[in-house]
Amino acid sequence: MGTPALAAHILERLVTGASAKGRVVGVVTRPDRPRGRGLGMEPSEVGAVATKHQIPTLKPVKIRTPEFLSELKAFEPDLLVVAAYGRILPNTILDVPKIAPMNVHASLLPRHRGAAPVEGAILAGDDETGVTIMRIVEQMDAGPMYFQRKTRIEPTDTQAKLKEKLAELGAVAMLEAIDLAARGALIETPQDESSTTYTAQIEKKDAMIDWTASAEQIERMIRAYDPWPVARTQLGGDEVLIWRAAVEDGSNGTTGTIVSVKPAPVVQCGAGRLRLIEVQAAGRKRMSAVDFLRGKRVDAGARFGT
């Protein structure tokens, strides 16, 4: 059960992984949705992988129905493997697999439970993250853990880059978990509830830059929201997307003010300054911040924000 690209990579590895002690008998994913310029109906990333491998697929609009439960039981699964499906599963579904319902969560639980663990780890400035293989319970990311695998968060890691690393790490970990399940060797460890943190679903409004924040926090935000929803601000009433930036020292000026434009534009933040590297005007291509400001004829003293 899964939906986005991270889950699709894990599914691909479960289908093709030579070490897996089993086979994928069915897939559950979100319904097809309109995408692209033509808004044609297209499957989720997981749905596309299932179609490629001709795996029977369920795409329920609602999962708490007798009809869906009956269809799921028809697969007679030993394991229910979940990765970024996006819904809390009721006990009626969790009781279906003969061995266990297992989830691969893209954080080191109990830190960063919830819908945006990858973005949350970058925003928090964590030095490392990883994946947790756990048994699912009817409470968000709260089940006992089987094991974890860690990876370093590099200073240049964006949401996209980190999800790629965690997708492969999660796939390898899930293959290992399936092997342990086949041998009856899974061992559960309760989570430390006192160390729990949560993340919420990211929305476009979250990406608006508050220049009173520190340069360090804004730079993390830029990486956490790449490729979506993309950190953004306003300049002269026009929206500007910020794709890449670097932190610099300095605290002298009004927040959001461009304090210099050569050799690159530098913006004053609540603490420290941010050197803009790559930006994008609405409806235009990404470009260097130097070329953007030159084309807009923006000088030092101009101010970002509303």
Segment 248-288, tens digit of pLDDT? 998 878 999 999 998 999 999 999 999 999 999 988 999 99
Q: Which two three-digit tokens encode residue 142?
A: 């709260």
User: 228 lies in a domain?
Assistant: yes
pLDDT score at 282 = 85
Q: In which band, very low, low, confident or very high, does the pLDDT at 37 lie, cut at 50, 70 and 90?
A: confident
Q: Looking at the predicted structure, is the pLDDT value of residue 39 above 80?
A: no
Distance CA 70, CA 66 (A): 6
Q: In which band, very low, low, confident or very high, does the pLDDT at 20 lie, cut at 50, 70 and 90?
A: low
Tell me the one-letter amino acid at 262. Answer: K
Say whether both 30 and 142 belong to one domain: yes
| 3-class DSSP state of 100 | strand
Average pLDDT over residues 90-98: 98
Q: Looking at the predicted structure, is the pLDDT value of residue 25 above 60?
A: yes
pLDDT score at 18 = 59
Given 164, 199, 234, the domain boundary residue is 199
Q: Looking at the predicted structure, is the pLDDT value of residue 217 above 90?
A: yes
The number of domains in the chain is 2
| 3-class DSSP state of 33 | strand
Say whether both 188 and 216 belong to one domain: no
Given 165, 199, 233, the domain boundary residue is 199
pLDDT single digits (tens) 66-91: 999 999 999 999 999 999 998 999 99
Q: How crowded is the C-beta side of 198, counted as CA atoms within 13 Å?
A: 7
Say whether both 173 and 209 belong to one domain: no
Do 113 and 199 contact (CB within 8 A), yes or no? yes
User: 69 lies in a domain?
Assistant: yes
Given 146, 174, 199, the domain boundary residue is 199
Say whether both 17 and 108 belong to one domain: yes
Say whether both 115 and 144 belong to one domain: yes
pLDDT score at 224 = 98
pLDDT score at 36 = 73
**Residue-number span of the structural domain to which 168 is assigned:** 5-199
Tell me the one-letter amino acid at 190. Answer: P
Say whether both 84 and 173 belong to one domain: yes
Say whether both 235 and 254 belong to one domain: yes
User: 61 lies in a domain?
Assistant: yes
Say whether both 184 and 271 belong to one domain: no
User: 192 lies in a domain?
Assistant: yes
Do 138 and 90 contact (CB within 8 A), yes or no? yes
Say whether both 130 and 248 belong to one domain: no
Tokens 């790629």, residue located: 164
Rounded to 5°, angle at Cα 89 from 88 and 92: 150
Distance CA 47, CA 29 (A): 6
Q: Kindly report the CATH number assigned to the domain that includes residue 230.
A: 3.10.25.10
Q: Kindly report the CATH number assigned to the domain that includes residue 191.
A: 3.40.50.170
Q: Looking at the predicted structure, is the pLDDT value of residue 19 above 60?
A: no
Q: Looking at the predicted structure, is the pLDDT value of residue 126 above 60?
A: yes
Q: Looking at the predicted structure, is the pLDDT value of residue 180 above 90?
A: yes
Q: In which band, very low, low, confident or very high, does the pLDDT at 116 lie, cut at 50, 70 and 90?
A: very high
User: 221 lies in a domain?
Assistant: yes
User: 119 lies in a domain?
Assistant: yes
Say whether both 144 and 211 belong to one domain: no
Q: Looking at the predicted structure, is the pLDDT value of residue 297 above 70?
A: yes
User: 305 lies in a domain?
Assistant: no
Q: What is the pTM assigned to this prediction?
A: 0.94
Say whether both 192 and 247 belong to one domain: no
Indicate the average pLDDT of the chain.
95
User: 100 lies in a domain?
Assistant: yes
Say whether both 174 and 238 belong to one domain: no
